[in-house]
Amino acid sequence: MIYGIPSYDLPLMAAVGFLSYLIGSIPFGLVLTALSGGGDIRKIGSGNIGATNVLRTGNKKLAAGTLVLDGTKGAFAVFCAFVLCPFHTDAAEALAAVCAVAGHCFPVWLKFRGGKGVATGLGSVIALSPAIGLCCCAIWLIFARATRISSAGALVAFATLPLVMIWPGHVPPSSPVYLSGVLIALLILIRHHANITRILHGTEPRIGQDRT
């Protein structure tokens, strides 16, 4: 058994993971930008489908909508796991959170070229633990405002997530929820490898600055 899950329940867990991946893979930034007449977001700015790049279209409401919807799909995936797996809630929700973020980063509809998972990751973490999720949001906002670099805020928020989960989150390191937090943090940090390089070189665009 894995985390107390008997072998006969593994197909259900696999189904939860696949459903969460599909939910996470919905490219709201691409869809909203196209519906608003803004064209293909992948041809604008950094080419990313997330809210930060949508903001580069100049449409703040569209960017806010993308941020909310990307976060909501992470939370919704965790909620679906809660409903579908009442006997293995922690493990199912943890799996759903990771798969939703993976779906956003590697959506099957876009040849596995998606976003960086920040909003979806925050939505997933908030659903797993509102206190921990809101703490990460606060860290993100504080560092993004201090540096005027959105990616810097996201990197600090998720780099510290495993520590926040232990204290003040009180999540045992042996729990599936803690493992999901570590995996989400690693995935988001890896997806930001180019941003990390630009930050170190002092070339990362600041909030309000266009990226060519």
Domain regions of the chain by residue span? 7-201
Report residue 1's pLDDT band, with 50, 70 and 90 as the boundaries. low
The pTM of the whole model exceeds 0.75: yes
Q: pLDDT tens, 71-124?
A: 999 999 999 999 999 888 999 999 999 999 999 999 999 999 999 999 999 999
Residues in the chain, how many? 212
Q: pLDDT tens, 22-44?
A: 999 999 999 999 999 989 999 98
